[in-house]
């Protein structure tokens, strides 16, 4: 089992920045890819970003490219999502996800590819 705990959400104004963190604990000995997803009210959960175990490969949904940056610190079992130039349409609950026993280069963009999920952290951007 892997436990994921997100933090860093909050209420900000359009144009501001936030950094989300996701700390993993439990059986973290195997390689695992990490991802961020989000769900806005009345909408389906959507992929935001992913990073490989090595940190060398990343993926982003087009709407956040150039504004969000994903990174990870394997020594701390933590993944980060730096969000800059936030827009009102970024308002959502953000979820961290882990996919275990993956190659070091692997990233995933589908929620079904992930094995563990955090509880989510709310990000609200006022315009």
Structure confidence at residue 31 (pLDDT): 85
Structure confidence at residue 70 (pLDDT): 98
Dump the DSSP string for the chain.
Answer: -EEEEEE--EEEETT--EEEEEEEEES--S-EEEEEEEE-TTS--EEEEEE-TTS--EEE-GGGTTTEEEEEETTTTEEEEEE-S--GGG-EEEEEEEEES--TT----SGGG-SEE---EEEEEE-
Structure confidence at residue 125 (pLDDT): 98
What average pLDDT is seen over the chain?
96
Structure confidence at residue 27 (pLDDT): 81
**High-pLDDT (> 70) share of the chain, %:** 100
Of 61, 84, 58, nearest to 70 by C-alpha is 58
Instruction: Note the pLDDT tens digit of each residue in 61-91.
Output: 999 999 999 999 999 999 999 999 999 999 9
Residue 30 has pLDDT above 80, yes or no: no
Q: Name the pLDDT band for 21 (thresholds 50, 70, 90).
A: very high
């Amino acid at each position: 089992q892997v436990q994921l705990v997100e933090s860093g959400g909050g209420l900000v104004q359009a144009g501001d920045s936030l950094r989300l963190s996701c700390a993993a604990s439990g059986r973290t000995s195997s390689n695992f890819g990490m991802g961020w997803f989000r769900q806005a009210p009345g909408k389906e959960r959507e992929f935001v970003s992913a990073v490989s175990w090595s940190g060398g490969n990343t993926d982003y949904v087009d709407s956040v490219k150039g504004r969000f940056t994903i990174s990870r610190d394997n020594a701390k079992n933590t993944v980060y999502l730096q969000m800059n130039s936030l827009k009102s349409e970024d308002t959502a609950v953000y979820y961290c996800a882990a996919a275990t026993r993956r190659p070091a280069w692997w990233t995933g963009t589908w929620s079904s590819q992930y094995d563990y999920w955090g509880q989510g952290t709310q990000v609200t951007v006022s315009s």
